[in-house]
Structure 1
Amino acid sequence: MDQQPNYITSLTSLRGLAALWVMLFHLDVIFFYRDFGPFIPHELTGIITKGYRWVDFFFLLSGFVISHVYGAAFASSTDKVNLIKSFLWARFTRIYPLHLFILVLLIPFAAIVPVLFPAVVDGSWETFMAWPALLDNLLLINAMNQHVYLSWNIVSWSIGAEWWAYVCACFILPFVFKSNLTYKSIALVVSSAVLFGMFSIRGHLDITFDYGWLRCLAEFTVGTIVYQVFVHRVGEAWLSKNTSFLITALLIVIAFHFGLSDILLIPLFIALLLCAAYNNEIIKMVLEKKTLRYLGDISYSIYMMHGFWFLVFWFSLTYLKSELKITLLAVPLKLGLGVSFVSSTIISAHYTYHYIEIRARQLLRNAWFLKNEKSTVNG
């Protein structure tokens, strides 16, 4: 089940670029909300300040890719119980080891830093490092309105949301793959209505620790239906063109720059996904370049590790203000801190990808295989 048939390599690079964009968004958050001014003036552009929207792309992409890898199996399997067990174990071993590793890093951080550097403990510390929220993070229920704000690895709310989307996928995939066009359309309308309803209430889709699971589930479901569009090659003649990809990418940049409605980005992200999946020309060649592919390979580590470095830099700036009495950062220093944040994230992601993600996944899946093999022999 772990082998991806006809792997759509161009989507991997898009995932990496999206992870970098989210990382830059959080870099701006650090400077802006620590009163050192934005990384790029907000009045000039929303290119960075609206970067949270790429999480919506992740959720759409997840539904699409999970459909690509597992959809046919769920549609045709006669042994649903073992299929569900294998599927959930595969997804758990994909996301949980790195999530747990970062929590293990943050626990001593939360215990030791207040003792050594008491000046960093402010209201945000009490929120981000709230001990009662640790269990919810461990149980992956940190996007279900359990606490008042983001906590611990602040980006991991989306991992908790994603896990429960995987659980629901055991029912969504058979439904989407086996139902007729009418029922697929109903699923699309319901999911879109949920997203539009959340947007109407909040005025944006930056919904995380509270109803992030619902945001994820709706977009994951839309992603599974978009995959049906891909399978039936709908719009391929136009969407496969290089110009279609470039126009769509440009429209996304424009939407970010001018701060256009979050809900508008959903169809644009869908179009970008399909353009990349259909394309077999220059765009595909560019997206399959070694560097871009590697960024995509380590994108999960980039995403998760930048949450760890967010906390390190966030509280370091508190120390600069309270102890060193630094209230203004010169442009070169701000740029240097930004480069340090990005470098620390990418370098650490390189190592966690190889030594945490891959090794833990191999170890846990081998244990699963040996357990099942032993059960078969004993049976």
Structure 2
Amino acid sequence: MKNFTASSAFTDTKPHYELLDGLRGVAALLVVFYHIFEGFSFAGGGTLITTINHGYLAVDFFFILSGFVIGYAYDDRWGKTLTMKDFFKRRLIRLHPMIVMGAVIGVIAFFVQGGVKWDGTHVATSMVMLTLLLSLFFIPAYPGAGYDIRGNGEMFPLNGPSWSLFFEYIGNLLYALFIRRLGNKALTVLVVLLGLGLAGFALFDVVGYGMLGVGWTLDGQNFLGGLLRMLFPFTLGMLISRNFRPFQIRGAFWICAIVLLVLFCVPYIEGKSPVCLNGVFEMICIAVIFPVLVCIGASGKTTDKQSTRICKFLGDISYPLYAVHYPIMYVFYSWLIETRQYTLGETWPVAAAVYFGSILTAWLCLKLYDEPVRKWLNRRFMKKRSL
């Protein structure tokens, strides 16, 4: 059970890249679609994910967007209007409320499933509450620990995709302490070294998945792989933000959205000798195509109020959707296993309800919880309003 990270770090004194907001939302919508098909694979005993085979790469797209946006929003503020304390408060206010909500919904989903591991073993309520407490403080579970309550080794068994937000926190910490201080040449060297490290994981299939779906567990080489998976696109996005020059392009949003859809729907590429061919495709996406898409998206403009509203809605919903949809997926997966249905053709009404129900849940969490809580936290802890 794997896989975002989306991050919105724009400030009031700089213009938004509306199209990047919209593309983040598109990627989040595709992640939910991917996880529906992951459910068919999981319920069917680990068969190959179909239709949107490479949807997990949305996480890597989130990371490069996050690096670009954070570099753009904060690089020129250090020592002027921004202190390290303020930066960490901004990031916590932006990210952590939905992490809390995702864990709470995860507990509800776990009890809806019957409070049992995937193998049917009952889990004590006290252990579920311990898992919730650790999740609220973002302390990951180690495979086999008592608080690995689903029994499949996820870092955050109440809400699996939180693994990428965990690495996002690490990226933000390293940025504030170290990366922001690097000049362009030093940052370029770091990006190249990280890219070589990630390429090694992808091309030589270090963890044996046949795909770069690493980071979701602390088992084996996953932590190192997840760290590289976050740091390479994250720092690459920062490097792009420092050197980016916009250019004129029409239809930027649709070009980028269609390219993302096509890339995510590319079938799994067989072949592991002398290198993993699927890993070659993944690295081309992360190191070449995604940076181009970021540049295109940052260069494009919304042309009317309607397109601006659409991109704003997609950007607003992207993080809540990513943060809360997976507990709903757990219930869906459990239903698939119980009913022994493994295809979209058999389950499309339920799958559609899960998909649009996830979007509705995310929107309600955004409007009734996330925005009010962040507004209160900003008033309480920040001298100036931050997003």
TM-score (norm 2): 0.76
1:142 lines up with 2:140 in the alignment: yes
- Cα 1:327–1:101, aligned 2, differ >3 Å: closer, same or farther? closer
| 1:235-265 CA-partner distances (Å, limit 9, x unpaired) | x55xx43388777666655544244521111
User: Which one is further off, 251-260 or 10-19?
Assistant: 251-260
Select the residue among 277, 283, 286 that pairs with 2:298. Answer: 277
- Cα 1:284–1:265, aligned 2, differ >3 Å: closer, same or farther? farther
Specify the structure having the higher radius of gyration (Cα): 1
Select the residue among 318, 321, 331 that pairs with 1:312. Answer: 331
CA apart distance, 1:67: 1.0
Is the Cα–Cα contact under 8 Å of residues 10 and 287 in structure 1 kept in the other structure?
no
- Cα 1:198–1:286, aligned 2, differ >3 Å: closer, same or farther? farther
Correspondence list, 1:280-299, <5 A = 280=301, 288-299=307-318
CA apart distance, 1:312: 1.9
- Cα 1:333–1:37, aligned 2, differ >3 Å: closer, same or farther? farther
Is the Cα–Cα contact under 8 Å of residues 241 and 275 in structure 1 kept in the other structure?
yes
Number of aligned positions between the proteins = 340
Equivalent position amino acid for 2:299 in 1: Y
Distance 1:124 1:273 in 2: 44
Distance 2:362 2:261 in 1: 26
1:262 lines up with 2:295 in the alignment: no
Distance 1:271 1:225 in 2: 13
1:224 lines up with 2:238 in the alignment: yes
Identity %: 24
Select the residue among 189, 194, 212 that pairs with 2:192. Answer: 189
1:351 lines up with 2:372 in the alignment: no
Is the Cα–Cα contact under 8 Å of residues 194 and 228 in structure 2 kept in the other structure?
no
- Cα 1:311–1:258, aligned 2, differ >3 Å: closer, same or farther? closer
Distance 2:159 2:290 in 1: 26
CA apart distance, 1:214: 3.6
Is the Cα–Cα contact under 8 Å of residues 198 and 232 in structure 2 kept in the other structure?
yes
- Cα 1:71–1:295, aligned 2, differ >3 Å: closer, same or farther? same
Equivalent position amino acid for 2:360 in 1: I
Q: Tell me what 2:272 maps to.
A: none
Q: Tell me what 1:334 maps to.
A: 347
Distance 2:290 2:111 in 1: 41
Distance 2:240 2:139 in 1: 27
Distance 2:259 2:363 in 1: 32
CA apart distance, 1:191: 2.1
| 1:68-90 CA-partner distances (Å, limit 9, x unpaired) | 1111112xx168xx711111111
Is the Cα–Cα contact under 8 Å of residues 32 and 325 in structure 2 kept in the other structure?
yes
Distance 2:361 2:40 in 1: 21
Is the Cα–Cα contact under 8 Å of residues 313 and 341 in structure 1 kept in the other structure?
yes
RMSD of Structure 2 on Structure 1 (CA): 3.4
Distance 2:121 2:233 in 1: 32
- Cα 1:361–1:52, aligned 2, differ >3 Å: closer, same or farther? same
Distance 1:187 1:330 in 2: 44
User: Which one is further off, 216-225 or 98-107?
Assistant: 98-107
Select the residue among 4, 11, 16 that pairs with 2:25. Answer: 16
Distance 2:241 2:313 in 1: 24
Distance 1:287 1:265 in 2: 30
Distance 1:194 1:27 in 2: 31
Distance 2:284 2:141 in 1: 24
Is the Cα–Cα contact under 8 Å of residues 93 and 361 in structure 1 kept in the other structure?
yes
CA apart distance, 1:364: 1.3
SS of structure 2 residue aligned to 1:346: helix
Q: Tell me what 2:3 maps to.
A: none
- Cα 1:27–1:126, aligned 2, differ >3 Å: closer, same or farther? farther
Distance 1:249 1:294 in 2: 15
| 1:106-158 CA-partner distances (Å, limit 9, x unpaired) | 3354457536xxxx65328789x974654553332439989733411011111
Is the Cα–Cα contact under 8 Å of residues 10 and 284 in structure 1 kept in the other structure?
no
